[in-house]
Chains A and B, each alone.
Chain A
Amino acid sequence: MKQLMIGNGAVARGAWEAGVRVVSSYPGTPSTEITEFLATYPETDVYAEWAPNEKVACEVAIGASIGGARAMACCKHVGLNVMADPLFTASYTGVNGGLLICVADDPGMHSSQNEQDSRHYAEAAKLLMLEPSDSSECLSFTKEAFRLSETYDTPVLLRLTTRVAHSQSLVEPSEREEKDLGPYDKNAEKYVMVPAFARKRHIEVEKRMENLRAFAETTALNRIDRSEKRISGKRIGVITAGITDLYAREALGDSVSYCKLGMVYPLPTQLLKDFAASCDLVYVLEELDPFLENHCRAIGLNVIGKEAFTLLGEYTPAEIARVILGKEPVKEEDLLTIAPVPGRPPVLCPGCPHRGTFYVLKKLGLVVSGDIGCYSLGASAPLSSIDSVICMGASVSAALGMAKARGPEFTKKLVSVIGDSTFMHSGVTGLIDIVYNKGINTVIILDNSITGMTGHQDNPLTGKTIRGEATKQVDLVALCRAVGIESVTVADPFDVKSFEAAVKDAVASDEPAVVIAQRPCALLKSVRYTGRAVCTDACRKCGLCMKLGCPAISRKEDGHVVVDPTQCNGCGLCVGVCPFHALEKQD
């Protein structure tokens, strides 16, 4: 029976049906749910894990493939950058069991720091890449990817975008095909990538690409739907892939011919030439970079692409209709208009432990080198305490760079803030750099006992596996000490006074220091705050509590503070901050 399934769920289903045995990933929106769904299948079918970072995840999957199992690693687009090192060489070794790398791009940056187009990786690493349009294709393409991986002895990339990963549509699930573990034979010439062997493998890679280019001409993954209709006397053709195919079909119906590319690398040549020859005008519809368009131009096709469409963000059916049909989607005067209203940017949740940290950092006027996670929200008003956010781990290493550029005086007003999971991902290497190269930086590790932003995934510091089983927990204090940090302090960011003292001591010191801001995420089930804060008549309207940026706290016309009981979760941070004891906890 057909079921409504989110794209990520359908990829997981497809992998399970294809007999995948080992999956290793690091969470990253919009890819996270694939691995979470796979962890819901029986352990006897699939071993699933959260790795400390994407490079490790990719290597685990490569190892499982060499070991003869169908294997998979999933990440968001920026995670593919972290995977890139092993991936480029896995392209040379090829596979034993089928190997699939699923990458989810985020056009429009719904939850990302950049808008990179991961299709370039397929070309750069010389890998086959498939791109599904809906959940049904997520399932079937995933299965096909494992088959192609083994047929062509190559890792395969499956590219999703947010709208495909996070949209739900109907799929027809089927049963799992058990895939026996392939034989393990020592084969140094294939798997030991020293120059002498790698040179030979490169020849194989180029042969494979030639075979794949031939395959691209005939595979059913690339589909042509012809229309005899004309628009203003012209036969129009559109080249689509992924979500743009659905947008085009909604906007243009059967008034144009479609060349829908399910395999986006390597691309066909003759197929596209024949398609273009049957049309008077061909548009290329692709979000982000002109990847398909550049290929079309390289093979001599005169297509319309980015001169008519944007390089920025997402496409829409309306925009496609406007450009190709010259149709104003809905006339301005037919739209219901509204007056300008205040926006609603995302904020730290009521009870968020990071609120205490940023309140103190703002108060101390420190320069804050930030990182990737919920706590990047510490950049917005009124906390406004973050100076830079680049990528996972950069808070630590970039702060060392700042320190080396500007000297000790500056460094004593500088801290890095990084989450527990992010520290394990790639913060610890920066910390080692600080110790090794005589830095005096202060690093604040925001230990909220979970990977927060992506929706609560366990990590090496939580003591639980992806399946919730107890496991060894990395000892964060011992780890920091082991790399050479002598000053490691654990402080509760809701105990504002002692937390402030700990940060002051750490930055003033001539030695590198770590402050672990320890308090669990307020959304964890184990966290049970009780009661609500209320503001009594003792309120002097000083507004200090407003600096917390708590969504539950606002002011009346006269400046008196009120706490919204539906928002407040009773964390008590504001009670400790109010100098006049006007804020009280009540049951």
Chain B
Amino acid sequence: MQTTKQIMIVGVGGQGTLLASRILGNVLVRAGYDVKLSEVHGMSQRGGSVVTYVKYGPVVYSPIVGPGEADLILGFEQLEAYRALPYLKKGGTVIAGTQKIDPMPVITGAARYPEGLLEEIREKANLIALDALSLARQAGTEKAVNVVLIGVLAAQTEIPKEQWIAALKETVPPRFLEMNLSAFDLGYGYRNV
């Protein structure tokens, strides 16, 4: 029996996680799944941790993901990817952008940005880590980090590439399409080393 797949998209407010979830939602509907997405707007978006849940399968009830339930974590920032780890199933996959953004307790000196986060994630899960920011710059804009990461995620699924392209065309403004398609390709073609 096909079961519900659960994905968590995590990052820092302002990194563009909402667009990533919109593209993902669009492609999953195209592929014929029942889909639920849950996100939280408002105060948490102001530079705080942001989390979006994406669930798909034949029938999906609850829109939220609990501890130990996620098949995949798409992390836009190292610390946020690490923070989400207890939500990952054993044997699950983490796709993580290697970008580091200091949270306020680190900036004020009340805490330190932890070392060795990616190494620890690699010990506990299947990790695909990449400098998505550089790839986004290569595509023409830092803002396309979200689409680079969606590209990496796309390559991990069985959904044909054309459907992802179609979803992109529907979700990003036409004048940025070319830049985003190239960002998607850079992510899609990324191979873990």
A residues whose Cβ falls under 8 Å from a Cβ of B: 2-4, 29-30, 32-33, 110-111, 134, 162-163, 166-170, 246-247, 249-251, 316-318, 329-330, 334-339, 341-349, 374, 377, 380-382, 453-455, 546, 549-551, 553-555, 564, 566-567
Contacts and interface: CB of A to CB of B under 8 A. Distances in A.
B101 interface: yes
B102 A110 contact: no
B40 to A, nearest CB: 5
24 contacts: A2-B29, A4-B29, A111-B41, A163-B38, A169-B35, A170-B29, A170-B34, A170-B35, A250-B62, A330-B67, A330-B68, A335-B67, A338-B86, A342-B112, A342-B113, A343-B105, A344-B47, A344-B83, A346-B43, A347-B48, A377-B43, A455-B42, A549-B107, A554-B102
Given A170-B35, A344-B79, A382-B108, A567 B66 contact: no
B26 A4 contact: yes
Contact of A551 (B35, B64, B107): B107
A346 B48 contact: yes
Contacts of A454: 42
A336 B124 CA distance: 7
Contact of A453 (B29, B40, B42): B42
A388 B41 CA distance: 24
A254 to B, nearest CB: 12
A172 to B, nearest CB: 12
Interface in B40-78: 40-49, 60-64, 66-69
B125 interface: yes
B53 to A, nearest CB: 8
Nearest to B63: A167
B159 interface: no
A338 B82 contact: yes
Contacts of A374: 43, 46
B46 A30 contact: no
A341 B82 contact: yes
B21 to A, nearest CB: 8
B122 interface: no
A550 B107 CA distance: 8
Interface string B86-110: 1010100000000101111111111
Contacts of A162: 40
Given A4-B26, A454-B42, A455-B41, A345 B86 contact: no
Contact of A337 (B13, B62, B86): B86
Nearest to A319: B66
A549 B104 contact: yes
A7 to B, nearest CB: 10
Of all A-B residue pairs in the complex, the 3 with the closest CB atoms, nearest first, are A111-B42, A330-B68, A346-B48
Contacts of A380: 104
Contacts of B68: 329-330, 334-336
B66 A316 contact: yes
Contacts of A2: 29
Contacts of A30: 41-42
Contacts of A251: 62
A549 B38 CA distance: 30
Contacts of A318: 66-67
Contact of B25 (A4, A163, A249): A4
Given A339-B114, A345-B103, A346-B47, 10 more contacts: A4-B26, A29-B41, A32-B41, A166-B39, A170-B29, A330-B68, A343-B49, A345-B105, A377-B43, A551-B101
Contacts of B49: 343-344
Nearest to B43: A111
A246 B125 CA distance: 30
A166 B38 CA distance: 6
A346 B13 contact: yes
B64 A163 contact: yes
B25 A377 contact: no
A52 to B, nearest CB: 20
Contacts of A170: 29, 34-35
B42 A377 contact: no
Contacts of B42: 29-30, 110-111, 453-455
A387 to B, nearest CB: 19
Given A341-B82, A344-B79, A453 B43 contact: yes
A300 to B, nearest CB: 31
Nearest to A347: B47
Contacts of A338: 82-83, 85-86, 120
Interface in B114-140: 114, 120, 124-125, 133
A156 B110 CA distance: 50
Contacts of B63: 134, 163, 167-169, 246
Nearest to B102: A554
A556 to B, nearest CB: 12
B44 A346 contact: yes
A203 to B, nearest CB: 43
B66 A166 contact: no
B47 A316 contact: no
Contacts of B34: 170
